[in-house]
A = this chain, B = another copy of it.
Amino acid sequence: MAPRITLEDVSKAAGVSRSTASLVLRGSSRIPESTAEKVREAMHELGYVYNRQAANLRQSRTMTIGLIVTEIINPYFAELAMAVDQITHDAGYTIFIGYSRDLQERQHEIVASMIERQVDGLLILPALDTDPDRLRKQVNAANVPIVLLARHFTGFDYVGSDNVKGAGILGDHLAALGSKTVAFLGGRLAPSFIEREKGLRTSLEERGVQLWSTEELRSTVSPEGGAAALGRLFDQGSLPDAVVAYSDIVAQGVYDEMRRRGLEPGRDIAVASFDDTRIAAGQVPPMTSVAGFPQQVGTKGTEMLLTRLADGNADIPAQLALIEPQLKIRSSTATWRPRS
């Protein structure tokens, strides 16, 4: 194995001191172009590769940030992760990734390993069972700034879509169509679940529409979960005018289960959902969904973190930013008419 080329080697070859070589590397204007050129040539000739880790030891920042999401099979999370990558890459950062798989313990391990590796900051889409105090303690001990994405726990910087508002708009839409009963299906006690249910409830109750949202209707965030939840609803003999799924993924199962029972989405029952991933527009019939703009959440969240990282912004209090949702109306609700 060839011994690694260091700045020392470069400076010798160029006939200058190590300090000078370092200054050139960092683009200092104190070095005349003629000297700089010599150094650059030597680097090129020797095949020098910068060792940022060594530099990190002296400097206070590593130009590395950590991103932890629960998973990325869900396209909402995937888009969010790619948006984060876009901004951080352009700003010269490289990102560590970790998937918590919605397990607090794993999330904790990942945070620890990223802190050991001296990340400048952390972007986390937190696991559902996150213990906020434990997380806070962990990052405070290491003094690393953190911004939460898509799932809110109080006391942290946070960027997510405005679920309450989005759900409210959806509720208004369903009420305007003439539905008298709406079932909210799937999802668990995530912050976003609570927000969506709240927005729906407020809008619907105000308009005299019944919201069904019992414990029995909860499910995992998967097509299977959505199908099972709808199955339980039907089995107790209830037939709502509209079904709102916790998310597009859950809604996929809703479509399937309806058809298994001989019901057609958009004709017999109005169906709507949240996230507006590709899944929604790709359904047959196309499905109404509340867009949450994961790219915007990722972008805004990253910007918030980068601002924290800038000098002097460490002590500002916890910030919140909510992304404006948008209702995408498609035939799964638009073509539905009340049974008369």
Contacts and interface: CB of A to CB of B under 8 A. Distances in A.
A106 B67 CA distance: 20
Contacts of A81: 72
Contacts of A115: 49
A78 B85 contact: no
A69 to B, nearest CB: 10
A255 B283 CA distance: 11
A159 interface: no
A282 interface: yes
Question: How many copies of this chain does the complex contain?
Answer: 2
Interface string A67-94: 1000111010011011001000100001
A71 B78 CA distance: 9
A118 interface: yes
Interface residues of A, number: 51
A51 interface: yes
A99 B71 contact: no
A308 to B, nearest CB: 13
B94 A52 contact: no
Interface in A138-194: 141-143
Nearest to A2: B143
Interface stretch (A53-61, A124-132, A213-221, A332-340): A53-61
Contacts of A113: 94
A97 interface: yes
A282 B259 CA distance: 13
A101 to B, nearest CB: 8
Contacts of A52: 116-118
Contact of A50 (B51, B78, B116): B116
Contacts of A318: none
A15 interface: no
B71 A82 contact: yes
A94 B1 CA distance: 25
Given A51-B116, A53-B118, A64-B117, 15 more contacts: A49-B115, A49-B141, A52-B118, A53-B117, A67-B97, A72-B72, A72-B81, A75-B75, A85-B97, A95-B97, A96-B96, A223-B278, A255-B284, A259-B284, A284-B284
18 contacts: A1-B143, A1-B314, A47-B141, A50-B116, A51-B118, A53-B57, A53-B62, A53-B118, A62-B117, A67-B97, A72-B72, A78-B78, A82-B99, A94-B113, A97-B97, A223-B282, A259-B284, A279-B282
Task: Give the 4 A-B residue pairs with the shortest CB-CB distance, closest first.
Answer: A97-B97, A52-B116, A72-B78, A94-B113
